[in-house]
Amino acid sequence: MLDVAGLNVRYGKSHVIFDLELHVAGGELLALLGRNGAGKTTTLMGIVGLLPGASGRVEVAGRDVSRWPAYRRARSGIAYVPSGARCFPNLTVVENLEIASADGEAGWNRERVFELFPKLEGLRGNLAGGLSGGERQMLAVGRALMSNPKVMLLDEPTEGLAPVVVHSLIELVGQLKQTGVAILLAEQNHQMALRVADRAAFMEKGMIAEQLPAAQARGSEVLNRILGI
């Protein structure tokens, strides 16, 4: 569903992502693991088209989107949930959801998002800026779903959340892949990520060091080496 090949990112003269290759199938969850600064966020931003210094091939469901600006990539089926539970703080919950709304096979709409996050429904008219961190993260995921994406890129969705919220959020991400969406999950919390991931890609210094099935990744040597455990 998502095929990335030869992704390079340069900031001015410095080269930060090197010939990256990733494939995520529909209904599959790939965990992108690595330390702070390994290049996880840059990789995601390169895929969604936010970095002018990015080059390489990005395909969504077999369609090459590499030459498209970010908004067209979004419309082609990439939903990006940036880190920090980013929302439009001056818009209401409903407006935040509707802004990304697009028709699609998965059939996500406002009602289904509220079924998934009942808590949000009670806050529908509130400004997003006043929500708690967990609520905002639900809203961010909800907004991504509203676009009925083929591919979801999640950047550190558990960061800064209370453990119990982290738990349910990760469970939810695990469930989402059953709708057929391809999920690329960048995480530092590898334990959580590996509980729901199908495969893991380990990143170091802007390169993929190794890719393993999730089962093998747990307790692996590469996990210890790269994440320093």
Write out the residues near another protein by the rule CB under 8 A.
48-50, 69-72, 74-75, 80, 82, 86-91, 95, 98-100, 102, 129, 143, 147
CB of 91 to another protein, least distance (A): 6
Dist. CA 105–CA 206, nearest whole Å: 35
Least Å from the CB of residue 103 to another protein: 12
Taking the least distance from each CB to another protein, the nearer of 82 and 206 is: 82
Q: Which is nearer to another protein, 80 or 202 (CB)?
A: 80
Shortest Cβ distance from residue 182 to another protein (Å)? 17
Q: How far apart are CA 18 and CA 5, in angstroms?
A: 10
- For residues 127 and 207, which CB has a smaller minimum distance to another protein in the complex? 127
In the complex, minimum distance from the CB of residue 82 to another protein, in angstroms, rounded to a whole number: 7
d(CA 43, CA 56): 11
Three-state SS at 209: strand
Nearer residue to another protein within complex by CB, 2 or 208: 2
Residues 6+ positions from 127 with CB-CB distance below 8 Å = 89, 90, 91, 92
Tell me the C-alpha to C-alpha distance, in Å, between residue 75 and each of 8, 37, 49, 52, 159: 23, 29, 12, 19, 27
